[in-house]
């Protein structure tokens, strides 16, 4: 997408929008939450640890932005009813939902597939693939009512081009890209809905530190360096872009 090379978002790009961010307590999710709030959105902070979400909430308050909302939930054992409760709470408390950033992710250490267990795969598929499907489905009535709704599902370089030792995580992220294409096709005739996959690439994040602990963080791209792409896909300027896999490195 050539327009991302020089994309400069308007300062109030997300004014009056309500955006749900999963995995908002740290890393890319935290920076995305702060960025979306800075550009005018009311952000809903999802995460597993309340104390981390509260810190992000306080950061948004300190910036003087719209008051955020916190919805903690452990995705490893979440069921349909849990996602329905979140959607109902959003409707009751905020009355609308204009976007979802599926940022939450989970992976174990890298290992050969022969050393991985079915229990590990269940968790990897649950958090990385089944949750984005189920949460989007639960929130779909709200998204359909939004004038312009965007869903971003986070993929991975390993999901797009899998390699050894990534096992169930790579399979789950490949499934995310397939899910995006299927959903985009189903939404093709709904002008106010769009869904895309986003590949952050190599970036200083807790997940990257887990798989590549020896890297020098100061020489890597930082989460803030990727936010133009996050803003573009969530905001109105990406209207009409649907079912695509977008790579953050394209804006370097």
Structural domains in the chain, CATH included, are 11-251 (3.40.50.720)
pLDDT of residue 204 exceeding 90, the answer is: no
pLDDT of residue 216 exceeding 60, the answer is: no
pLDDT of residue 126 exceeding 70, the answer is: yes
- Rounded mean pLDDT, 5-12: 85
* Cβ-Cβ contacts under 8 Å for 85 (sequence gap 6 or more): none
Reported as a single tens digit per residue, the pLDDT across 139-153 is 999 999 999 999 999
Q: Where does the chain have alpha helices with state H?
A: 27-38, 50-62, 80-93, 118-125, 131-145, 157-160, 167-186, 206-211, 227-234
SS3 for 207? helix
Strands 245-247 and 18-21: unpaired
User: Distance of alpha carbon 245 from its chain centroid, rounded?
Assistant: 13
User: Distance of alpha carbon 157 from its chain centroid, rounded?
Assistant: 15
| Nearest Cα residue to 176 out of 81, 87, 106, 97 | 106
User: Rounded distance, CA 94 to CA 208, Å?
Assistant: 34
Out of 23-32, 124-133, 167-176, 240-249, least confident range: 240-249
pTM score, two decimals?
A: 0.92
Q: Is the dihedral of CA 5, 41, 94, 200 positive or negative?
A: positive
pLDDT of residue 252 exceeding 60, the answer is: no
Q: Residue 18 pairs with which residues in a beta bridge?
A: 42
23-49 burial string, b = 16+ CB within 10 Å, else e? bbbbbbbbbbbbbbbbbbbbbbbbbbe
Out of 101-105, 161-165, 194-198, least confident range: 161-165
User: Rounded distance, CA 182 to CA 195, Å?
Assistant: 10
Extract long-range pairs of 78-86: CB within 8 Å, 24+ residues apart. 78/126, 78/131, 78/134, 80/134, 80/138, 83/131, 83/134, 83/135, 83/137, 83/138, 83/139, 84/138, 86/20, 86/46, 86/135, 86/138, 86/139
- Rounded mean pLDDT, 3-17: 85
3-state helix, strand, coil in the chain (%, to 5): 50, 15, 35
């Amino acid at each position: 997408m050539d327009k991302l090379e020089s994309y400069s978002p308007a300062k109030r790009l997300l004014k009056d929008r309500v955006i749900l961010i999963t995995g908002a307590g740290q890393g890319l999710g935290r920076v995305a939450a702060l960025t979306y709030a800075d550009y005018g959105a009311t952000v809903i902070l999802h995460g597993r640890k309340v104390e981390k979400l509260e810190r992000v909430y306080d950061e948004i308050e300190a910036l003087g932005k719209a008051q955020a909302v916190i919805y903690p939930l452990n995705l490893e054992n979440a069921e349909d009813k849990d996602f329905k409760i979140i959607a109902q709470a959003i409707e009751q408390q905020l009355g609308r939902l204009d976007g979802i950033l599926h940022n939450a992710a989970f992976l174990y250490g890298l290992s050969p597939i022969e050393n991985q267990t079915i229990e590990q795969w269940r968790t990897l598929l649950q958090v990385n693939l089944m949750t984005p499907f189920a949460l989007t489905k639960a929130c779909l009535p709200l998204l359909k009512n939004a004038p312009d709704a965007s869903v971003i599902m986070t993929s991975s370089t390993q999901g797009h081009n899998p390699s050894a030792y990534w096992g169930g995580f790579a399979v789950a992220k490949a499934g995310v890209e397939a899910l995006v294409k299927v959903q985009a096709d189903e939404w093709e005739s709904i002008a106010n809905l769009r869904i895309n996959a986003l590949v952050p690439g190599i970036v200083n994040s807790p997940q990257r530190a887990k798989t590549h602990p020896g890297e020098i963080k100061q020489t890597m791209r930082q989460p803030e360096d990727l936010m133009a792409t996050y803003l573009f896909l969530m905001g109105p300027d990406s209207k009409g872009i649907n079912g695509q896999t977008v790579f953050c490195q394209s804006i370097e």
